[in-house]
Each structure stands twice: as C-alpha cells, then as structure tokens.
Chains A and B, each alone.
Chain A
Amino acid sequence: MKKDGKKIIFENASDLPPMAMSLGSTEYNETGSWRNERPIVDSAKCTGCGICWKFCPDMSIKEDANGKASVDYVFCKGCGICAVECPVKAITMKEEDK
C-alpha cells in the first residue's frame, strides 16, 4: 500500500481493507468544487454550541482556535443545513462567484 498524494494505492487485492473500511477516498475525493453557495460564519454571533457540526453531513465544520465554527471549504458541498440549523443565525449562505 502506498500513497499518491492523498490517494491510497492498493497494489494487491489482499491489501484491501475488509468491510470497505478506510479506503482513503473521503480524503482525496475533494467535493468543495460542487458548491453553489458558501456558508459564511459570523464569529461575533457564533456561540460555539456545535449544532452545525452535529448536523453537517460531510464533517466539514471545524472548531477554530476560539471555539467557534469554521468551514472546511475543501469538502463543504454547500448544502446549507448548517445555516438552517444554527439557533442564533450566525451562518449565512452566499452565492459562489461563477
């Protein structure tokens, strides 16, 4: 097993993880380019409650140094669930530049 960037290369079928576990594809398959709208976090409003982190279907909410929400734009697909779920309306969706 070796790596090509983030991609894991399996040289032999016997190297394949059982149960299709950790094939590495969630790392190298960057889905951020699918996004039409980008979530913007207003740190002044964010209380750090973590609800957006809990709801994000793609694990794209990270905690910044101040304990506030930040978005991993490499993987965020822009679904907007975080903006809907935020109890203090700290996340707004902004259209991506074409």
Chain B
Amino acid sequence: MSDQKVLMGNHALSWGAVTSRVQVISAYPITPQTQVVELLSEMCSDGTLDAEFIKVESEHSAMAACIGASAAGARTFTATSAQGLALMHEMLHWAVGGRLPVVMGNINRSMAPPWTIWTEQTDSLAQRDTGWLQIYVSSNQEVYDSTLIAYKIAENQKVSLPVMIILDAFFLSHTSENVTMIEQSKADAYLPKYNPKYKLDPKEPHTFGGLTTPDWYYELRYNIQRGMDESYQVIKDAHAEFKSMFGREYGMVEEYKCEDADVILVGMATAASTGKESIDVLRSKGVKAGLLRIRFFRPFPFEDVRRVLKNAKQVLVLDRNLCPGMGGIVYQEVKSAMYNEKNKAPMYGFIMGLGGRDITVESIVNLFDYAKKNDPQDIIWMEVKK
C-alpha cells in the first residue's frame, strides 16, 4: 500500500519540497507567508529535514537568498503570496537571467488594497513576463506531484529556468485532501541530486550577471526564449516518466469531454475543476459542453489550446483575474493564440470570482446560457451586485 496522508494544499507543497530533498529554503515569516514554510521551518529545526533555512527581512531578500544558494549549486525553495510576490518582482527577473532552477510556491491571493487574503490569480499573472514557468494546479495531489516535476524540468540544462507552482488560496491552500506520498528512494530515482554544470565556487571565481552591453544582451534573451521552446519537450518527458514511475498522468493542459464539444470553457486552477461538474450538468441537459484546464500557463500551451479549440463553435474563457483596461489575462492569451488559426470560434471573456468570491457549478452553467443568448464580448461581468 502506498503511503497516504491527509494534507491541506499548503502542506502538500511543503511535503513536495521535502520529497524533492530541497537544500536551502529562504522566507520572510510574516503575512502573506503561509503554512508552506512554517512546516518546513519546523522540520529544519527538529532535524526531520536536512536543509538550510534562511530567515530574511523581506520577500525581496528571500528570493535573493534563493538566487545566491541556487547559483552555488543548491536545490532551492521558497513560497509566497500576493504582495510578497509583488515585492519579489525584481528578483524574479534575476532568477531567470541567471538561468537558476529555483522552485517557488505561490498561493494565489488577491492584491491589496483593500486588504484581503482570498484567492485571485492577478498576483501571479502579473509576473507572467518575468520568464518563470508557471504551473496552475487544481488538487493537493497535483500540488505535491508538481513540486517534483517542477525541479525535474527546471534543472534540465536545456531549460535552466525557475518554476512557480501556483495554488488557490483557501480552496486548495487550506482544504485537506488525501495525498498519495512518493517513497523517498523512488523520488530520488526520479529526481537525482542537482548537479549543475556551472556554479559559483570560491575555488573558481566568476562574476555573475555582470554588465552586458548591447553586443550580447539580445542573444542572452534569445537563449531564455530557447529554454522556453525546449521546455515543451522536457515537460512532456518529465510527465511521461512521472506517469511510468508513479501512475499519475499530467499534461500541459487537462481536457474534459472536449472531443465532441460545441462549446468549450477554458479556465485554470480550482475554478476549472468546479467547471467539470458544470459540464456534467450541461451534458445532462443535452448541451455538448467541454472544459479545457490550462495547467502550464508558461510556457503557453499553444499546440494543445489550438488542437482542442479548433472544432469548437464557441469558446468561453473564465478569468479569476483582471487586467484593468484590457480584461481577463487568460482570455487575452487564448484569443491571441487562436488569431492566426483558420478555424477559430467566437470567444467570450468572463471575469469571475475576484477576491475569492465563490465560483459555483451554477454560476459556470450560467456562462453557457449567456453565450447562447449573446454575441461575443471581450469583458463580461456576470455577478456584479446592483
């Protein structure tokens, strides 16, 4: 029998880091920090986990410490949320430019003010242009598994980029679910010790991220994009090996009843798993509905999105985020991915569940009713109180 634990999302992430044998963890231990590093700090202090815990004075410094540790060749982890992630912004670029495989958990919380701790994806989506890979998960098992997968991808030298694992506040972070744990020896076989080709070493001094003139900056950026390009195959291989070793299957996206669907809903994270129930309700009423959950937002799953949406008659995108003045961020990207396609369906951009408001089975069913009766629009607000 495999080892089972009942874990909340936060602790599933902590255990993911433990099973991945992280060597350095750095964090700022005050709100918006979560139980993710709280548990890890306890394990470091009682000796359960053989890792260095670096307590710092801000999230900016937490990421800086991770960057230093990763550059020195350590497997490095941190976690944050909302304002904390925003404060890290500058350092997120440093991790990418340094090509460092830092893995970070981000609990999706709405941005303040007004002060709030409930879920919304705007915090992490605002970091989409930094060059981090982004995985949006929808169950605690997926949180745990994705941690190992994230290191596997990040540390592959073809990629050499940091990865963010992103989970909804409360709907996952504080919800307990059954999680199948991976035996340490098997985890070690899947994820061997991090052994970078290049690292900072006092015996062989190097500068790191020093001044780069226009002569070569362009090529260094090109190399980052190439890392992203290469990552598609690396992700595929990491998922395939994971499936063969542990039985659970993941992809860049998750499809639910899309094969014959006329109307396809696109979403991310837990709202998309609620969406599956809505699809069942709609199917029972004779609506040919399907659901596409985007798991990897970076790199963007162009191929999967184009393949799944090509035969749809209508595409509905559910965004639990807002780019004021433009609309839903996932909507913008799905729409632009389809622009050069021959077969593209009319697209609807729905803004839902901001600030952690519930997205219910019924409210998702309502989106399909709306699309049946109305022309496509870029920004549709469904549940604004009058």
B208 to chain A, nearest CB (A): 6
Of the four ranges (under 10, 10 to 19, 20 to 34, 35 or more), the interface on chain A belongs to 10 to 19
The answer to the question of B212 belonging to the interface, with a C-beta cut-off of 8 Å to chain A, is yes
- Measured between beta carbons, the chain A residues less than 8 angstroms from B213 are 25
Q: Nearest residue in B to A13 (C-beta to C-beta)?
A: B219
The answer to the question of B323 belonging to the interface, with a C-beta cut-off of 8 Å to chain A, is no
Interface stretch among B94-102, B125-133, B179-187?
B94-102
Interface residues of B in 186-224 (CB under 8 A from A): 197-198, 206-213, 215-216, 219-220, 222-223
- Measured between beta carbons, the chain A residues less than 8 angstroms from B210 are 20, 22-23, 25-26
Q: B198 contacts A23, CB within 8 Å?
A: no
Known: A23-B210, A23-B211, A29-B211. A18 touches B216 (CB 8 A): no
Q: B211 contacts A26, CB within 8 Å?
A: yes
- Measured between beta carbons, the chain B residues less than 8 angstroms from A19 are 71, 98-100, 160, 198, 208-209
Q: A21 contacts B207, CB within 8 Å?
A: yes
Complex CA gap A18/B99 in Å reads 8
Interface residues of A in 36-89 (CB under 8 A from B): none
Q: A16 contacts B219, CB within 8 Å?
A: yes
Known: A19-B99, A20-B97, A26-B211. 17 other contacts (CB 8 A): A10-B215, A16-B223, A18-B197, A19-B100, A19-B160, A19-B209, A20-B212, A21-B198, A21-B206, A21-B207, A22-B206, A22-B210, A23-B216, A25-B207, A25-B211, A26-B207, A26-B210
Shortest 9 CB-CB distances between A and B: which pairs? A25-B211, A22-B206, A19-B99, A26-B210, A13-B219, A21-B206, A25-B210, A26-B207, A20-B209
A-to-B contact residues, CB < 8 Å: 10, 13, 16-23, 25-26, 29
